[in-house]
Amino acid sequence: MDAYHFVLASQSPRRRQLLRLLGYPFEVYAADVDEDVHLSAGPADYVRLTAAQKAEAAAHALAAGRRDRPTLLIAADTTVALDGTILAKPADAADARRMLTALRGRTHDVHTGLCVVDLADGREVRAVHTTTVTMRAYTAAEIDAYVATGDPLDKAGAYAIQHPLFNPVAALDGCYLTVVGLSLCGLIAALAAFGVPCRATRESLLAAHDGYPCPLLEQVWEQCQ
């Protein structure tokens, strides 16, 4: 039996899918926070602070409920930064088109902040994972077709790296899952600080990275043994 109960403080279906790969039963509690509060911070600080904000809001709400065993709360936030400027979720289709046009054929950074909190004592681990992404030179017609699907509207930078038809990324340097929205390798390392053993298989972690090499994977996997 796991020593901890797990709560994912996110409404993202992508993060739910990724967390399932680690093999821990968990529940979802999506905290309602204003994600624009920290926009004046730099991109890396923005995701670090916003992830902590989500964790704090969820922890406050859950503290009122009765827990029959220790609980770890996991929160994350992702943003895209082009030339140091944050590209958050687009306001509408026109904004998505603007972002995708600006990113086309260029290199940018994707930052994902992570915050894991022990609800019993408030102990927490924070981290920021950054991946450098180069977009392919997709056409204006491809942008229009992708925006018409509605997929960009709930995503930072207006794109999903894993979208099978748009397939916007030409190359990346860093963890693929950071771009998707949650670095599993980073999360495994964070959970280890609370004494949580790794339950994922190497095969499942490799498959989750969709063929992209991860600079953290082998190091983290060695710690899982």
User: Which are the catalytic amino acids?
Assistant: 77
pLDDT per residue as tens digits for the range 97-140 = 999 999 999 999 999 999 999 998 889 999 999 999 999 999 99
How far is Cα 194 from Cα 203, in angstroms, rounded to an integer? 24
pLDDT tier at 225, thresholds 50, 70, 90: low
Asked if residue 1 has pLDDT above 50, the reply is: no
How far is Cα 113 from Cα 111, in angstroms, rounded to an integer? 7
Query: Do 214 and 173 touch, CB atoms closer than 8 A?
Result: no
Residue from 82, 93, 76 nearest 43 by CA: 82
pLDDT per residue as tens digits for the range 151-189 = 999 999 999 999 999 999 999 999 999 999 999 999 999
Indicate the pairing of strand 107-118 with strand 124-135.
antiparallel
The pTM for the full model equals 0.92
The amino acid occupying position 81 is A
Q: Which residues pair with 87 in a beta bridge?
A: 80
How far is Cα 29 from Cα 142, in angstroms, rounded to an integer? 36
